[in-house]
Chain A
């Protein structure tokens, strides 16, 4: 897709060297995304069944800060892409590229942490309104879905930290496939969050 949109960028990149292991990490991350998607489908199906099961469903008003969090997560995907562009797919990477890549990665990490802090703040705001996990069915699902997404996102932050540490320590010999897998996962976390926000916000 991107090869047709940005031919110059692709042409500039060196020919890709792919080992079976790099392929496996790519399929692995996509297979992982399938299973995570399935889990969230189960949660969301449960949400709709539970909503229809009895008349006690009370729609909660989502805290405003969620929209800032969403923005931060979307921007973090963009900064991660910037970092990916900065680090060419060659085995040997020069120092300045590593510095640029690291810079954008750090911004991505900061935005990710901002998102997590913001989600925590949203919980506090709900709690201040007296809405806890067991208050009503909608608040139960709100806490469950955001907590599960948060846990998965923390795994993404762990992966980012790992990639950063490898770049700092190993510099030009870091494993590109790990970085690629992390990037795919991170973007997926953003898409998943958009979907969850839509589900939580929609009043059926």
Chain B
């Protein structure tokens, strides 16, 4: 397994015909772009939903024109009902966590660049790869179907806590077929992700080019590899959980529904189930899932920072080991989501300890980034700005994690806006910043044209300032005691907070609008962008040794041979201050 060997002929034949080339393609690059497009579609929907929610929170009686077309029952006269607010919230969370944060940094960029960065012609199992995308796409369609059925989307939140998620229609609007669709969609999504993770692991282990030892892989390849190991085990637990949930809902079993449960004045015909069991299974997946979202961005950001600083990190090895320890520790912390669930308080202590331990590798990584930046003459580009922004978001969002990790503080802060602010910054926005950085960095390689730098930097500053304006005040709201998931506030202790809520809503509308700059840039540059050279950023890794965009078999008929560690920057090479990985010239070190 360690001995990477030259590949046989070709993994698959050159694609012919429109369908094979663009739709049911076996090419990892096309599949990566398809994942990216799906993520982009999902993020637009998710962002639209957050606009609706933020608008309703501060102007609950103002009509939103045309909204009644989305749901006659949920938004009669264009005004969102409290139940429909929860439906929007559920769909926002589900779309963002599964179809954006899992798809974009991991499946999209990983698919496109992992095989190229290790010098392979394609993934190990191209057919599985195609299947995993289309499975994910079906999951997306099933989820979105919930918008158009009469029942509407579920109101359970993206975590779908039992027993209300398991009892059916009695639990409220959307909890009949809407909830069924949610369960089926996530189960299908799990299958797609498992196939994808399997492919990533086998590819990384066995298809590396000659000379590409494990420690010579770029940091982002390592991040995708570690992420796929986590995904392989995490989605393997969510799938059974969804199956049991669907059975409780449709086959009359009692896995999650306790005895004597009365919902909507009706005694539920189930007995003996354990609602906590759902939480255990869900969060056993759910916590590793946040690392599935953030690790690829950590890798992408490290990769880009090194390139922009023109010098290696203080230690790439320690970054890789830190990512591994985060991956390992992620399995021992799921209970910190359940401090107020009625779980034994002693367990809370046990879960609190490893949670705080995770801050150690996370801090080590941050210190390495900051220490390497110290004194570096960084090239300011849209990509490097977003990479720096990532570190900022990761630190700001991560610090509030210290508070939430301690049961005594979490009891006060649980289910408040503090938690919402925490996870939006540390896993949501930070991960998305990684995706933005990756997009500006690799767009030239993927399409053959560069993105517009001026628009990119404008997009960065608006997004960076905007997201701080949105999510920093969330922490304050939470400390004051503002509960989350309420669709409107009466004039009690939350009354004085309304101006702040208004500020957040306006910031959200503006920051969302700024994203149109990005989308415009994506489309405009595709046609009018400056043609990209083979190596526009003077990078060292293998993706920069092939044309932009790469041919269908990546390296043509060549088999790349790797001579160096991935980041030979700040050295005297024949082309400048760097030596490519596949260049046989001697390195300084």
Contact = CB atoms under 8 A, between A and B. Distances in A.
Nearest to B203: A24
B4 A34 contact: no
List 3 A-B pairs, minimum CB-CB distance, nearest first.
A53-B274, A134-B252, A54-B272
Contact of B254 (A24, A25, A32, A140): A140
A27 interface: yes
A38 B232 CA distance: 9
A32 B128 CA distance: 12
A137 B1 contact: no
A49 B277 contact: yes
B240 A35 contact: no
B232 A46 contact: no
B210 to A, nearest CB: 11
Given A20-B207, A42-B241, 17 more contacts: A19-B7, A20-B5, A20-B6, A21-B7, A21-B124, A23-B206, A24-B207, A27-B206, A31-B201, A35-B232, A38-B236, A39-B240, A49-B276, A50-B273, A50-B274, A140-B253, A140-B255
A144 B233 CA distance: 20
Contacts of B237: 38-39, 41-42
Contacts of B199: 28
Contacts of B281: 42, 45-46
Nearest to B234: A38
Interface string B216-246: 0000000000000000110111011101100
B258 interface: yes
Contact of B233 (A21, A34, A53, A134): A34
Contacts of A148: 240, 243
A54 B274 contact: yes
A34 B236 CA distance: 9
B271 interface: yes
Given A20-B8, A39-B240, A49 B202 contact: no
A49 B274 contact: yes
A50 B272 CA distance: 8
A133 interface: yes
27 contacts: A21-B8, A25-B202, A27-B1, A27-B202, A28-B199, A31-B198, A31-B232, A34-B232, A35-B233, A35-B235, A38-B232, A38-B236, A42-B241, A46-B241, A46-B277, A49-B276, A50-B273, A53-B272, A53-B273, A53-B276, A53-B277, A54-B271, A55-B272, A134-B252, A137-B272, A144-B247, A148-B243
B259 interface: yes
A49 B271 CA distance: 15
Interface string A20-64: 110111011001101110110111011001100111110000000
Contacts of B206: 20-21, 23-24, 27
A31 B237 CA distance: 15
Contact of A27 (B6, B201, B253, B258): B201
B49 interface: no
Contacts of B124: 21, 24-25, 27-28
A158 B328 CA distance: 35
Contacts of A36: 236
A1 B198 CA distance: 27
A55 B280 CA distance: 20
B251 interface: yes
A20 B233 contact: no
A21 B124 CA distance: 7
Contacts of A28: 124-125, 198-199, 202
Contacts of B8: 19-21
Interface in B179-214: 194, 197-199, 201-203, 205-207
Contacts of B232: 31, 34-35, 38
B37 interface: no
B11 interface: yes
Interface string A126-156: 0000000110010010001000100000000
A137 B254 contact: yes
A19 B241 contact: no
Given A31-B201, A144-B243, A38 B255 contact: no
Given A43-B240, A49-B277, A21 B198 contact: no
Contacts of A137: 253-255, 272-273
B198 A50 contact: no
Contacts of B253: 133-134, 137, 140
